[in-house]
Amino acid sequence: MATNILVADQETHFFGDVCKNFDHAAQFTKHDAGLLDQIKSCNSVYRFRFPIRRGNGFEVIDAWRVEHSHHQSPTKGGIRYSEMVNEDEVMALAALMTYKCAIVNVPFGGAKGGIKINPKNYTVSELENITRRYTVELIKKNFIGPSIDVPAPDYGSGEREMSWIADTYATMNPGQLDAMGAVTGKPIALHGIAGRREATGRGVAIATRECVSVGEDMQKIGLLPGLSGKRVIVQGLGNVGYYSAKFLAELGAIIVGLCEFEGAIYNENGLDVEAVFQHRKATGSVLGYAGAAQEFTNTMEGLEQPCDILVPAALENQITVDNIRNIQAKIIVEGANGPTSPEAEAIFYANGGIIVPDMYANAGGVTVSYFEWLKNLSHVAFGRMNRRFEENSNLNLVNMVEGITGVALTPMQRSTIIKGASELELVNSGLEDTMIRSYHEIREIYKSNPDIGTLRNAAMVGAINKIAVSYQNLGIWP
């Protein structure tokens, strides 16, 4: 009996943690209790099971789709493929998606999905069957559609799975003009968008850069402003962690530590992210990399090494009261969803640290998913209509300036100035603008009231206020 209670407690803490953060932030708003309850609660929780054929027998798969908030339509959120997934986790992630979208001003409600499998245990054919059957179950209950609920990749899923979902939805809805808008994170060849794959990691890097750019805040924690020379440890070499580390290095940071489930490596002089990634691809482990000065078979030890910034970009609940006092970083930037427990966060802030919260830091993915959704609804790639017009206009301007000044530009200078923006450049520009504006909006709320205490609370306050306005404007029907 005690064991069952313990397991139940372990499986039902994540949504409770999100609600704790919500309740604390709600104290700094002026909305009535009923409206706050509406914002906090999950509107729709769909739990279902379906069979698949395996060999000569059957296997029953558990799955979920949760739509947390309908203050904006459609709802939006990834599908997680993991044998650890459970209803509480999916509800928590759906709630975080609601707040995340509000924070970065993306007009979606929050949703999330989960399929309780380990993808490594299935063939490609079996994964396709599972994904297509999951999609059909969503279609049957009206839980997917370009104006209803738009899934995306998450832990354990990617472009391949999104392609299967898109094809299944289009097949089940013949003639629907906007069918490809029913899912994002698709490959470019299937109406995806340039920059989506790396968007979350790029957003994490931009969020980190914005945090350390504020001299006043850095002075308080004993760091110089700017990313140049900052020592960074990244947990996770999946899509988010790899691109976070890659772009942070490009922005001038030194990646001193990389952690994965099989272990961690550290070198105070820096690690070559791409070389480590290729080493792991070839050997299946970060351990054994020639450029590592230290190795740890216990991956959690890797988080506790000397650094300025720690980027947990793996799974939730990685930083707790058990290890927070051993963390030497002064800034934690949450690339993953829910990597820091509320109790650990309180200790970290009490010791003078800063945490850039997940609901903002990893919002790059949903931001570029929004761009992909817009592209699918408009049926035209960004830049296609105006790129040549911009280049001709720029060319005329350059010719005029050269004629007036008598100074001829080099071919390289001319091409740089004249070139119109590609889809990737426009996407990256839109993402960067979103992340910059959102961080300083959060920081303004944080600075406006010392009692708010953390950037997470400030982000949540901003999200609650925006969602409340939406619900108030919608009214109640009937």
**Same domain flag for 200 and 144:** no
Q: Is 239 annotated as a binding residue?
A: yes
Q: What pTM, to 2 d.p., does this model score?
A: 0.91
Q: Are strands 57-67 and 44-54 parallel, antiparallel or unpaired?
A: antiparallel
- Whether the CB-CB separation of 184 and 168 falls below 8 Å is answered with no
In this structure, is residue 328 part of a structural domain?
yes
In this structure, is residue 69 part of a structural domain?
yes
Q: What per-residue confidence (pLDDT) applies to 415?
A: 86
In this structure, is residue 36 part of a structural domain?
no
Q: What per-residue confidence (pLDDT) applies to 11?
A: 52
**Same domain flag for 226 and 133:** no
**Same domain flag for 332 and 367:** yes
Quick check: is 112 catalytic?
Answer: yes
**Same domain flag for 216 and 177:** no
In this structure, is residue 320 part of a structural domain?
yes
Domain end marker among 192, 222, 244: 192
In this structure, is residue 183 part of a structural domain?
yes
Q: Tell me the average confidence (pLDDT) per consecutive run of 10 residues in the chain, 478 residues long.
A: 39 80 93 96 97 92 98 96 95 95 97 97 96 98 98 93 98 96 96 95 98 96 95 94 97 97 95 96 94 94 96 90 95 93 92 95 96 96 86 89 91 87 94 97 94 94 97 90
**Same domain flag for 148 and 214:** no
**Same domain flag for 453 and 465:** yes
State the residue range of the domain holding 179. 42-192
In this structure, is residue 404 part of a structural domain?
no
In this structure, is residue 364 part of a structural domain?
yes
Domain end marker among 137, 163, 192: 192
**Same domain flag for 204 and 278:** yes
**Same domain flag for 229 and 158:** no
Q: For residue 284, how many other CB atoms are within 10 A of its CB?
A: 11
Q: Is 369 annotated as a binding residue?
A: yes
**Same domain flag for 69 and 168:** yes
Q: Is 76 annotated as a binding residue?
A: yes
Catalytic option among 20, 30, 40, 112: 112
Count: domains in the chain: 2
In this structure, is residue 458 part of a structural domain?
yes
Domain end marker among 170, 192, 214: 192
Six-digit token string for 333: 């930037």
Six-digit token string for 205: 């890097």
Q: What per-residue confidence (pLDDT) applies to 444?
A: 96
- Whether the CB-CB separation of 165 and 190 falls below 8 Å is answered with no
**Same domain flag for 239 and 258:** yes
**C-alpha 184 chain-centroid distance:** 13
Q: What does the longest C-alpha to C-alpha distance in the chain come to?
A: 88
**Same domain flag for 319 and 292:** yes
Q: What per-residue confidence (pLDDT) applies to 164?
A: 98
